[in-house]
């Protein structure tokens, strides 16, 4: 690596580290907020006799993911501030874990909301379907905007490092589709699973 390319790499490295630190701080704050929201919903559910146990289970699992996300992002910030990072690959596993735990927690909360809407509105299947559809549309719009913004940017080593992060998005979509499908099956009385759980 010549001096010019090495200098450019160092600039990219510092830019990535700074950006990742800010992102980790954001994930830390968002997860802390989700922890508070999850505990609030659980408290409300339990104060009314825990009428939907499956939602309690999903939210408790989501709570574990969010707590783990706070710990992982604290680790990332510590690693960056410690100044011992020698390669972008040193952060990739931690970044992947942080992104995936946050995404899993959010997906379980979203799924819990679908079940709550369906049950609270007298087995109204339209509400959870619209809720999930709007969520997907907003994610698609965000993805399109980000792709348009990044399409003219050169592919750097930092971009390649980000792409090496393990993504579980297909699993998340599958979880959401499966639960929505189960709600439709319950709506048509093909599989009556909500009633016995209430």
Contact 45, 52 (CB under 8 A): yes
Cα separation of 113 and 128, whole Å?
Answer: 8
59/168: higher pLDDT: 59
* Angle made by CA atoms 115, 116, 121, in degrees to the nearest 5: 105
- Mean pLDDT, the chain, rounded, equals 82
Backbone angles phi, psi at 132, to 5 degrees: -70, -40
In this predicted structure, the answer to whether residue 99 has a pLDDT above a threshold of 70 is yes
Give whole-number Cα distances, 136 to 6, 114, 115, 140, in Å: 41, 14, 17, 6
The pLDDT of residue 110 is: 93
In angstroms and rounded to an integer, the radius of gyration of the C-alpha atoms of the chain is 21
The pLDDT of residue 28 is: 87
**Total domains in the fold of the chain:** 1
36 — pLDDT class (breaks 50, 70, 90): very high
Q: What are the structure tokens assigned to 71, written together?
A: 């710990």
The pLDDT of residue 4 is: 45
Cα separation of 130 and 106, whole Å?
Answer: 17
Cα separation of 83 and 80, whole Å?
Answer: 6
Cα separation of 73 and 90, whole Å?
Answer: 14
Contact 103, 168 (CB under 8 A): yes
The pLDDT of residue 128 is: 93
Q: Provide, rounded to the nearest whole percent, the portion of the chain with pLDDT above 90.
A: 35
137/6: higher pLDDT: 137
Q: Which domain holds residue 61?
A: 3-197
In this predicted structure, the answer to whether residue 53 has a pLDDT above a threshold of 90 is no
The pLDDT of residue 195 is: 64
- Mean pLDDT, residues 148-154 taken together: 72
Cα separation of 38 and 26, whole Å?
Answer: 18
**How confident is the model over 61-74, as pLDDT tens digits?**
999 999 999 998 88
In this predicted structure, the answer to whether residue 127 has a pLDDT above a threshold of 80 is yes
- Mean pLDDT, residues 120-131 taken together: 89
Among 94-98, 109-113, 168-172, name the most confident range: 109-113
What pTM does this model have? 0.82
The pLDDT of residue 84 is: 67
């Amino acid at each position: 690596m010549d001096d010019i390319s090495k200098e450019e790499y160092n600039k990219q490295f510092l830019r990535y580290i700074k950006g990742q630190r800010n992102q980790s701080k954001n994930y830390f704050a968002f997860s802390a907020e989700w922890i508070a929201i999850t505990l609030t919903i659980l408290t409300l559910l339990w104060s009314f006799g825990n009428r939907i146990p499956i939602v309690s289970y999903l939210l408790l699992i989501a709570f574990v993911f969010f707590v783990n996300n706070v710990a992982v992002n604290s680790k990332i910030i510590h690693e960056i501030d410690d100044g011992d990072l020698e390669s972008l690959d040193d952060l990739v596993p931690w970044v992947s874990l942080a992104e995936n735990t946050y995404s899993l927690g959010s997906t379980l909360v979203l799924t819990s909301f679908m079940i709550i809407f369906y049950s609270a509105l007298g087995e109204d299947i339209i509400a959870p379907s619209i809720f999930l559809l709007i969520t997907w549309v907003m994610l698609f719009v965000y993805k399109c905007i980000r792709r348009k913004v990044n399409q003219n940017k050169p592919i750097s080593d930092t971009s390649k490092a980000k792409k090496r992060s393990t993504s579980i998005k297909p699993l998340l979509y599958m979880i959401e589709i499966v639960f929505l499908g189960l709600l439709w099956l319950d709506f048509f009385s093909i599989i009556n699973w909500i009633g016995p759980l209430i």
